[in-house]
């Protein structure tokens, strides 16, 4: 019966598959405990936003939707898409066990709208046996993008082989270059006004360094997204890469050659987003949806998320399983110490679109850095002016 059903619209990030994997039996356990069926629809990212908007409009029947944390939350709350949520009543849920930065990301103006699924922040992976002979032993937990570039340069000059796989597909490239921009002491958007700062000399310096890194990258890296980067690193086609924390479980699975040889480092200027669950304002089954969310983000399920995706959100998971997953210590520091969100902006996706297109045009030799940045800046300024009318 429909009243004993909860429908979930989820994005096809590899990490999300944990919820439907038969070996974890997550949804079956929920049904056995609560007598509620769950339909869990996983939609490719390129089609996800359109489906999401239809769900919010009531054209598609979904109770729970996945939200890209702070990137989308302010916009969705302003447009009244999401139901406000209360804190879990069950003390065993232990909300304070969730890292503080993730708890804060679930809220706007102190009001809760989301429950966290998994983190996605920049993390560096490298092959010790390939990097240390040319660069030396790396005895720290984090590095700058300048140091990352220096390692890539030295490895390439020493071996004449590609140093890196870059996540430079048009759909990824703005967030891939973001730590390089921040390394120059500039944010692409002003933290208070949210106005673009792409005309700053720091952005030009960052873009030029990113282009230098391309010269040390594996062929075809302009087409690389998550899977391509994962495969290149797993197969030892390159000695180092930067990927998302939510990819670590897959990168370090049984297909990874010589897993014991892999080292992990946070980027000092990394970014993190917490993919999360919210309840659609249009849902007629909100109480049952909230029961499911409390279960999907419980201590029990967070351990499954950590083992499969590699990026849990609870302190207890990091502590309990740190000996099983060698990246947990670095990833915890990444989320709690180094990663910084972008501002919570209205129309964030629309404002970032010209940056993705502009950086990619430079990366693929269709535009020059300075003129492309000026064009990006002007396009975003125009969108901001239209927004304020």
- How far apart CA 157 and CA 299 sit, in angstroms, is 47
pLDDT for the residue 90: 86
Q: Write down the pLDDT at residue 2.
A: 62
* Domains detected in the chain: 5-119+273-329 (3.40.190.10), 121-271+343-388 (3.40.190.10)
Regions of the chain short of the pLDDT cut 70 = 1-2, 389
- pLDDT at position 1, please? 44
Map 57-115 to HEC letters. CCCCCCCEEEEEHHHHHHHHHHCCCECCECCCCCHHHCHHHECHHHHHHCEECCEECCE
The burial of 203, by beta-carbon neighbours within 10 Å (0-12 exposed, 13-18 middle, 19 or more buried), is given as buried
Predicted structure pTM score: 0.94
């Amino acid at each position: 019966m429909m009243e004993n059903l909860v429908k979930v619209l989820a994005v096809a990030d590899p990490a999300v598959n944990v919820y439907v994997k038969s070996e974890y039996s997550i949804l079956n356990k929920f049904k056995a405990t609560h007598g509620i069926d769950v339909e869990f629809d996983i939609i490719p990212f390129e089609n996800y936003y359109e489906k999401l908007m239809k769900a919010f409009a009531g054209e598609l029947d979904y109770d729970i939707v996945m939200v890209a944390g702070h990137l989308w939350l302010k916009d969705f709350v302003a447009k009244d898409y999401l139901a406000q949520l209360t804190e879990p009543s069950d003390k065993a849920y232990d909300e304070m066990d969730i890292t503080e930065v993730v708890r804060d990301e679930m809220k706007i103006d102190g009001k809760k709208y989301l429950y966290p699924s998994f983190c996605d922040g920049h993390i560096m992976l490298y092959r010790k046996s390939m990097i240390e002979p040319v660069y030396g032993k790396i005895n720290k937990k984090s590095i700058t993008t300048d140091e990352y570039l220096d390692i890539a340069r030295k490895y390439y000059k020493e071996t004449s082989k590609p140093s890196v796989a870059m996540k430079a597909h048009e759909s990824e490239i703005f967030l891939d270059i973001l730590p390089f921009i921040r390394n120059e002491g500039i944010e692409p958007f002003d933290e208070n006004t949210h106005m673009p700062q792409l005309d700053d000399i720091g952005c030009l310096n960052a873009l030029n360094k990113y282009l230098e890194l391309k010269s040390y990258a594996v062929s075809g890296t302009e087409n690389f997204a998550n899977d391509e980067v994962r495969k290149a690193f797993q197969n030892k086609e390159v000695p180092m890469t930067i990927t998302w924390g939510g990819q670590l479980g897959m990168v370090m699975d049984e297909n990874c050659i010589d897993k014991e040889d892999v080292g992990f480092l946070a980027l000092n200027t990394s970014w993190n987003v917490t993919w999360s669950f919210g309840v659609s304002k249009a849902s007629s089954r909100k109480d049952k949806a909230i029961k499911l969310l409390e279960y999907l983000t419980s201590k029990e399920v967070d351990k499954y998320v950590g083992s499969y995706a590699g990026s849990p959100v609870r302190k207890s998971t990091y502590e309990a399983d740190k000996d099983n997953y060698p990246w947990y210590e670095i990833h915890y520091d990444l989320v709690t110490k180094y990663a910084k969100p972008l501002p919570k902006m209205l129309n964030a996706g629309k404002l970032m679109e010209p940056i993705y297109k502009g950086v990619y045009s430079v990366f693929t030799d269709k535009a020059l850095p300075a003129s492309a940045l000026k064009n990006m800046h002007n396009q975003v300024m125009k969108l901001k002016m239209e927004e304020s009318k």
